[in-house]
């Protein structure tokens, strides 16, 4: 009886350790992901500063705001006894605080310029979507009816993703989960529109693109 008791105790210990280790690994993955692309962010900030014609005083204010944000994020990263959800909730709150503080630095003209840049960026993304859709139509030999259905699906997916992206009630983790679900729903709906031959062609196109992209990033 004692032998069985110790075996059960050992099993519970192993399970508890596994869950704790998995939680730690998940936290580590999120932190590593957060650290990627810092060079691109710095380049983007410099470019934005040039476009907005920031004064030295504004640059100093923004630098202090970002340093304060980074300090708080570093402190958050050191907290090992919180769950991923708690981590994401606090990260989201810090991000909102950062955005609010940044807005107090810019002048009305600079805010208007940023809004114009945002609209131009959205227009460029729309043009890219149209170009990409045109190429897909040609390569998959879509019928007019299929084109209409695919456009409807893409517009619905884009609208749903934007709603989730702008939902302040959701934290980062919840947004990722819901966005992934929408993407999967879109793929399933797409399969109902395309023929089996077109689906296979689409898979080939995506594989070719995935192989090409890593080389383009070097």
pLDDT in the model for residue 124: 85
The yes-or-no verdict on residue 16 having pLDDT over 70 is no
pLDDT score at 44 = 64
**Spatial CB neighbours of 164, under 8 Å, sequence gap ≥ 6:** 170, 175, 178, 179, 182
- What pLDDT, on a 0 to 100 scale, did the predictor assign at position 36? 46
- Compare 48 and 98 and report the one with higher pLDDT: 98
Q: Is the Cβ–Cβ distance between 23 and 83 less than 8 Å? A: yes
What would the two tokens of residue 68 be?
A: 């304060």
Query: What is the reported pLDDT for 19?
Result: 42
pLDDT of residue 33: 41
Buried b (16+ CB within 10 A) or exposed e, 22-32: eeeeebeebee
pLDDT for the residue 213: 52
pLDDT in tens, 24-44: 454 444 444 444 444 556 666
pLDDT of residue 15: 43
Q: Is 179 exposed, middle or buried (0-12, 13-18, 19+ CB in 10 A)?
A: middle
pLDDT value at residue 1: 53
The answer to whether residue 217 scores a pLDDT higher than 70 is no
pLDDT tens, residue by residue, 121-165: 888 887 887 777 778 788 888 898 988 898 899 889 989 998 988
Q: What is the pLDDT, as a whole number, of residue 145?
A: 92
The structural domains of the chain, with segments of one domain joined by +, span 59-105, 107-208
Q: How far is CA 205 from CA 108, 132, 136, 166, 209, in A?
A: 46, 12, 9, 31, 6
Please state, in angstroms and rounded to a whole number, the distance separating the CA atoms of residues 5 and 12. 11
How many Cβ atoms are within 10 Å of 16's Cβ, its own excluded? Answer: 10
The pLDDT assigned to 210 comes to: 65
In this prediction, residues 86-98 reach a mean pLDDT of 90
pLDDT at 175: 86
Please say whether the beta carbons of 91 and 172 come within 8 A: yes
**Mean pLDDT of all residues in the chain?**
78
Residue 211 pLDDT level (bands cut at 50, 70, 90): low
Structure tokens at 133: 């859709």
Using alpha carbons, select from 62, 94, 98, 64 the residue that is nearest to residue 79: 94
CA distance 43 to 17: 42
Q: Which residue has the higher pLDDT, 39 or 199?
A: 199
Nearest 5°: the CA angle 216, 217, 218 is 95
């Amino acid at each position: 009886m004692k032998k069985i008791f110790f075996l059960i105790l050992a099993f519970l210990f192993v399970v508890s350790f596994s869950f704790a280790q998995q939680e730690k690994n998940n936290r580590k993955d999120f932190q590593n992901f957060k650290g990627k692309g810092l060079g691109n962010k710095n380049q983007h900030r410099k470019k934005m500063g040039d476009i907005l014609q920031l004064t030295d005083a504004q640059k100093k204010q923004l630098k202090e705001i970002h340093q304060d944000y980074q300090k708080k994020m570093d402190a958050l990263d050191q907290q090992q006894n919180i769950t991923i959800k708690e981590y994401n909730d606090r990260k989201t709150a810090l991000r909102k605080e950062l955005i609010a503080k940044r807005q107090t630095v810019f002048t009305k003209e600079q805010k208007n310029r940023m809004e114009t840049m945002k609209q131009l960026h959205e227009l460029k993304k729309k043009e890219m979507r149209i170009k990409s859709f045109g190429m897909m139509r040609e390569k998959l030999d879509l019928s007019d009816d299929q084109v209409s259905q695919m456009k409807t699906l893409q517009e619905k997916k884009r609208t749903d993703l934007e709603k989730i992206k702008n939902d302040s009630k959701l934290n980062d983790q919840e947004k990722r989960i819901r966005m992934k679900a929408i993407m999967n729903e879109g793929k399933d709906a797409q399969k109902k529109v395309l023929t089996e031959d077109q689906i296979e062609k689409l898979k080939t196109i995506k594989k070719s693109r995935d192989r090409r992209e890593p080389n383009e990033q070097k």
